[in-house]
Amino acid sequence: MLDEWIRGEKSDENGKVPWLNSQKGRLLIVIVICIGLLALLWPNSVSNDSSSTHDAPLLTERSASNSIKQSMQTELAMILAHIEGAGSVEVSVSLSSEGVKTYATNDRDERRQTEEGGQKSTVEESRTRDIAVSSGTPLLLEEKMPEILGVLVVADGAQDPQVKENLAQATATLLDISPHRVRVMPREGGR
């Protein structure tokens, strides 16, 4: 039956040509087969799984540093708002970096010495250093918080010199930074 269809022979007893034997029918079958092959060969997703796993730690580190900064600002603002006369307080912290993380490494040193005929001596040294991994994640030995470059405190009560001084001292003490890195400003339209 298939070879009759390909040759274009009539297979109907009445002499009528079924729609599959017409030129449009053949074109339709070819298009459907091409679309089916294209669907089989088309990739399931645009990004590779390997690239997404490499980007995941980077994204989590960035979000972690932003969350550290955000939580530091929020906590500091809540504490400073309890100072007498401070009123509503907003805090902005400027950090030098995202901090320093030290990972465990596996170090391997190799030294090979070969002598050829007693006249020529060759020394080969190689050093390899790999990050130690446990359960697919690097082993973190130490994490240092980023250095604080400066802090801006905006408060309703900062127009009063005593409140301004109290806010600056409290900020410097809480963050363990020198007072010249703290700037306290009154809020526009504050008391």
For the chain, domain boundaries: 2-41, 55-98+145-191, 100-144
Query: Mean pLDDT across the stretch 1-11?
Result: 59
Q: The domain 55-98+145-191: what is its CATH number?
A: 3.30.300.30
Query: Is the pLDDT score of 180 beyond 50?
Result: yes
The one-letter amino acid at 47: S
Radius of gyration of the chain, Cα coordinates, nearest whole angstrom: 36
Q: Indicate the Cα dihedral angle 24, 25, 30, 34, nearest 10°.
A: 90
Q: Are 93 and 99 in contact (CB under 8 A)?
A: no
pLDDT in tens, 8-27: 655 555 555 566 667 787 88
Instruction: Give me the pLDDT at residue 140, please.
Output: 82
